Amino acid sequence: MREEAEAKDLWLEVKNVYKTYDGVRFVLNGINMSVPKGAIYGLLGSSGCGKSTLLNSIVGLMQLDAGEIRIPSLGKKDIGFMPQELSLHDTMKTEEVFYYFGTLFEMKKELIEERIAFLTSLLQLPKRKRLLKTFSGGELRRVSLAVSFMHNPKLMILDEPTVGVDPVLRQSIWDHLLKLCNENKMTIIITTHYIEETKQAHIVGLMREGVLLCEESPKSVMTRLGCNSLEEAFLVLSKQQALTGSTNQEENQIKITKFNKVLSPLSKNDKLFSFPRFKAELMKNYFFLSRNIPLLLYLFGLPIVSCLLFNIGIGYEPNNLRFGAVIDDIPFDTLTGCERHLKEINQSCNMDYLSCQYLYEMEKTNLNLKVYDYLDEGLEAIKKNDIWGLAYFPQNFTRNLGLRIEFGKDAGSEAVDNSLVDIYLDRSNRVIDELINLNIRSSFRAFIESLFSRCGWQERASDIPINFKKPIYGILTPTFRDYAAPAIVVVILFSMPLVYGVVIIIEEKNSGTTGRSIAAGVNLLEVLLAHSVIQVSLQAIQTCSTMFMMFYIYEFQFMRPFLSTILLFLQGVTGVSLAFVIAIACDNLPIASACCTFSVISSIVLGGMIWPSQGIHPILKPISIVMPITLPVESLRGLTQRGWGLSYPPVWLGFLTCICWTIFFIFIVYLILRKAKAKAFLSKKIR
Ligand SMILES: Nc1ncnc2c1ncn2[C@@H]1O[C@H](COP(=O)(O)OP(=O)(O)OP(=O)(O)O)[C@@H](O)[C@H]1O
């Protein structure tokens, strides 16, 4: 086969190729094409006839349904490809684009500079320091054309390079192409809408509805059909095709099911990994990131802002909670009256007005008391949301409580029953309800302690006989913030790379940048490795800034700093690898965003941030345990709050979880990429 093509001196042969996107209509419908060495091959056809599909299939970015592409003597490095769309990051400068492709093609710096100077003058490119996003459409096409010339390839594949270019420049591009063919024996395949300009080509292929209607020199086709222009010849051939109806869509449908999926030889890379290509990718990612100030602010600012918000917004006790009281056992009907009385009793052992004494302690908490005259009035206030609850002191409360305190176990049941304070609550808000409950109990203890102290009785005898000693781990009075802090740190570091990675990779994919790089020789391993290096570096910075905020500025308990840092870093790497899975598997940004949101929300809900994983429903428990953040959160608690080391199972299980998930995600990425379909998918926007 190879010998056959070489014998004919063909650089490229396309044999009987078929391609359908929807399984119904054939965009390429049995195309045969032969491109001799050193020729300009003009591929002509109306919009949508399949030209770009054919070119993309030739450079290996698309899978064919049947047929064969033969490129016997050329590798990826020998091809210069200019896709129909720009497929370059528009936040890069012209010179950066040149350096990116130059590095990728392993060109020396001097040679790159030489080519920049030459191509800038030939194609009248704008200044090399300008960002692509400031260019007009025509200027962008010229830059795109220039980079495909960059490395003096043997075969140029140009998809509409002259669109939007003024006629004089168009002619000079054609002159240059002819010169390259004549002097350098370069072979060029060029598609264009301007049919007449292909008169200068050595061969024209006229394409319609996925079929090549003819393939011969412009002169020969015009002579054969007796036409004065190529435009006219194309019209005649199109009419003939319409009359014979030679597209045979149904027949082909049957044929194709028998064929295997076909890829161009150019889809293969010479090496699994090349350092210059990796370096070029790294360079491109760096340029992209360094130009994107909002993105940088997001990446470096968000961990800090999240920590700030967490510390400002979460865990502080709600204060000024409105609470009512109805006092039926004493003549004072306002708190002011109570206060006046309390001043009178001063430090004495006074057993009068005990409801007042209790309310006085209650007011010292974060309850904002309001006294009502009647119980109904107070209950109405709860219903109207004026107060969160109400304490009702029945008649003779003071006398009965006094009896209860004085006679203890000998106090009669009447004294016990009538010394109760009735509490009515709006329990619709669990957190506030718990807080009010706590305040009611703690102020009662304070009131009894104060009474015992003033009466010279053993103060401690009034307390419940339970003594909380200094905690073995943790602090004496932990708050919700202490509980949630390790989880929020893990969630931040897991979700940050997730969002960033997915957005960047999908954006690159959809803009065709990845596809163009792949056509130029980069492989997906290099693309992902370059992204990994950038992401892991960002991850390291984000880990340090998050830890600085939480453990240095906000002084959360922090033991085992080294192991904690490693764990958090690994957690971020898990996020990066999950980002790769989502970005490669998902078709578009909204679906990918939904996947990210789901991953983050399920991690927060099931990962032990809001509620301990030990209390999760038995059905969800196994899922919760294997979630990427559940065990790492426990591990971080063990490290920072208990000072445990790697020998403790809760600690090493966290590390193991991160490592296992990372390996699993990388394996999924590998499986997806192994499918040739993914290659076409990655470049689906290259048109
Ligand atoms: N990814 C895709 N999924 C589905 N259909 C597609 C896809 N890409 C192209 N097509 C369809 O295939 C047909 C051929 O498209 P192609 O881009 O190859 O045409 P073309 O000849 O290059 O057109 P133009 O000159 O306008 O660029 C069109 O009808 C187009 O809508």
- The proportion of the chain whose per-residue pLDDT surpasses 70, expressed as a percent, equals 93
Pocket test residue of 19, 20, 21 for ligand 1, highest count of atoms within 8 A of CB: 21
The packing angle between helices 354-364 and 430-454, to 10°, is 130
- Tell how far the Cα of 97 is from the centroid of ligand 1, in angstroms: 27
- Tell how far the Cα of 49 is from the centroid of ligand 1, in angstroms: 7
Specify the amino acid at residue 403: L
Average pLDDT for 173-187: 87
Residue, of 348 and 53, whose pLDDT is higher: 53
CA distance 74 to 58: 12
Of 24-33, 267-276, 610-619, the range with the highest mean pLDDT is 24-33
**Quick one: pLDDT band at residue 184, thresholds 50, 70, 90?**
confident
Q: What is the pLDDT of residue 245?
A: 61
Of ligand 1's listed atoms, the one at least distance from the Cα of 193 is 25
Residue 425 DSSP SS3 = strand
CB 585 within 8 A of CB 669: no
CA distance 650 to 631: 7
- Tell how far the Cα of 50 is from the centroid of ligand 1, in angstroms: 6
CA distance 596 to 591: 9
CA distance 263 to 265: 6
**Quick one: pLDDT band at residue 682, thresholds 50, 70, 90?**
very low
Model-wide pTM > 0.80: no
Q: What is the pLDDT of residue 260?
A: 61
Pocket test residue of 33, 44, 51, 588 for ligand 1, highest count of atoms within 8 A of CB: 51
- Tell how far the Cα of 48 is from the centroid of ligand 1, in angstroms: 5
Which residue spans within 112-210 are E strands per DSSP? 155-159, 187-192, 203-208
pLDDT for 354-379, tens place per residue? Answer: 888 899 899 888 899 998 989 999 99
- Tell how far the Cα of 51 is from the centroid of ligand 1, in angstroms: 8
- Does residue 560 have a pLDDT over 60? yes
Locus of tokens 């009281």? 325
As a dihedral over the C-alpha atoms of residue 431, residue 432, residue 433, residue 436, rounded to 10 degrees, the angle is 130
Q: Report which of 8, 12, 60 is spatially closest to residue 33, judged by C-alpha positions.
A: 12
DSSP states along 162-175: TTT--HHHHHHHHH
CA distance 367 to 377: 19
- Does residue 631 have a pLDDT over 80? yes
**Quick one: pLDDT band at residue 329, thresholds 50, 70, 90?**
confident
End-to-end CA distance of the chain: 30
CB 172 within 8 A of CB 122: yes
How is residue 684 annotated by DSSP? T
CB 89 within 8 A of CB 514: no
Q: Report which of 645, 648, 613 is spatially closest to residue 629, judged by C-alpha positions.
A: 613
Q: Tokens standing for 290?
A: 């360094």
Q: What is the pLDDT of residue 556?
A: 83
How is residue 470 annotated by DSSP? P
**Average pLDDT in the chain:** 86
Q: What is the pLDDT of residue 251?
A: 56
Of ligand 1's listed atoms, the one at least distance from the Cα of 687 is 17
Q: What is the pLDDT of residue 457?
A: 86
Residue partners of 350: CB distance under 8 A and separation at least 6? 454
